[in-house]
A and B are shown apart, each in its own frame.
Chain A
């Protein structure tokens, strides 16, 4: 499976409450992604919460876009990426 970085812009900011409801919302994303063979690894969110950089595993960019539609998430750019870190996962 390939890895992608998905850039999203939220003009009004991304607000996920740190509550049970917020946790349920995130887990709902996980479930809907799984229906398309897409896995959300994690995301980085800018300080102003208007932009996110989301790391996904998935079969292709189209699956990433379809998952975003199901989750009502914007998609501004998708880039296929590879992991590079000091350990190269050994």
Chain B
């Protein structure tokens, strides 16, 4: 009998846990919708030549390194940035300022993420206060000086084309490697 009561308690706990899990899932639907705009806007850039034709150019850091990684934490990959979009303080899910590609062993580049970038000076000159947001997430401020030799900027990665175990919007993806770029 006590076993039966325990079973009932377990069931109640299990149902509670299930509801707790499902509630955030429902609220996450809005984020899914936003990231679908990002995917729709960038799907054509699986073709690197299409990205180049649209104004995305190879970005290297101040040391000339193209493939950005953080050993022990994860990689980003190779960034292609659109200068016109970077200089514009607006943020649009479908038109990221940068596209991030992971070098593949066969020499190809695989589109893995979008990066949204706003120069802090442009953001503030446009009369904005606070921090840019997208997908319900706040951008991170990268102060100057930084490894890219850029003025202070806000940025947000969205790993819309490759799963990131650290989360959709983390800067680093442990499943992304620059190893193929160095071989």
Contacts and interface: CB of A to CB of B under 8 A. Distances in A.
B25 interface: yes
Counting contact residues on chain A (CB < 8 A from B), the size range is 20 to 34
Contacts of B46: 27, 30
Nearest to A89: B168
A8 interface: no
Contact of B43 (A40, A83, A84, A89): A40
Contacts of B27: 88
B1 interface: no
Contacts of B10: none
Contacts of B32: 3, 82-83, 89
A30 B43 contact: yes
Interface residues of B, number: 26
Contacts of A2: 33, 36
Main SS class of interface, A = mixed
A82 B28 contact: yes
A37 B135 CA distance: 20
A70 interface: no
Given A27-B46, A82-B29, A87 B40 contact: no
Contacts of A30: 43-44, 46
Interface string A19-60: 000010001001101100101110000000000000001000
Interface of B: 21-22, 24-29, 31-33, 35-37, 39-40, 43-44, 46-47, 108, 135, 137, 167-169
26 contacts: A1-B33, A3-B32, A27-B46, A30-B46, A33-B43, A34-B43, A34-B44, A37-B40, A39-B43, A40-B43, A57-B36, A57-B39, A82-B29, A83-B25, A83-B28, A83-B29, A84-B22, A84-B25, A87-B167, A87-B168, A88-B27, A88-B28, A89-B35, A89-B168, A90-B137, A90-B167
Interface of A: 1-3, 23, 27, 30-31, 33-34, 37, 39-41, 57, 82-84, 87-90
